[in-house]
Amino acid sequence: MLRRSRIGSWAITGGIAAATLTGCAGADVPDAVIEISNVQFSPMDATVEVGDTVEWRFDDGGLLHHVESPGEFDSGITGEGTFSYTFDRPGTYTYTCSIHPYMTGTVTVR
C-alpha cells in the first residue's frame, strides 16, 4: 500500500514538471548551449540564426570564467550559473575569457 502511494506521488510530480517546462518553452529554452568546462568553451564555434538566444553554462567546478565580447556582451566573472544573449544582427562574434585569454570562441549569426 505504502509503496503504491509513493509511486503515485512521483508520477504526479513528474507531470507538473513536464507541464511547467512546456509552458516556458517559447521564452526560456536557448537555441544553442555552450558548456564551459575543463577551461574551454564547448563547442568553440557555434552558428545560430538572427533572433536566436545562446546560453553559456558555467560548469567547471566553481572555477571562475568570463564570457566577454567587447561592445557586444559580457557575462561578468562567475563560477556558476548561466549567461544568455540574444543575437539580433548577423555577423561573427568573437569572445574570450578575461581570466584565461587562451579560452576563445565564436558565434556566427546568419
**Which residues partner with 41 through β-bridges?**
36
For residues 33, 26, 75, 55, the Cα torsion angle rounded to the nearest 10 degrees is 0
| Residues lying near Cu ion in the complex (CB under 5 A) | 65, 97, 99-100, 103
**Which residue, 84 or 96, has its beta carbon nearer to Cu ion?**
96
**Which residue, 97 or 107, has its beta carbon nearer to Cu ion?**
97
**Which residue, 31 or 42, has its beta carbon nearer to Cu ion?**
42
Report in angstroms how near the CB of residue 55 gets to Cu ion at its nearest. Answer: 17
Q: Which of 38, 34, 83 is nearest to 63 (CA)?
A: 38
Sign of torsion over alpha carbons 91, 47, 32, 51 = positive
C-alpha cell of residue 52: 536566436
DSSP state of 44: S
**Which residue, 56 or 85, has its beta carbon nearer to Cu ion?**
56
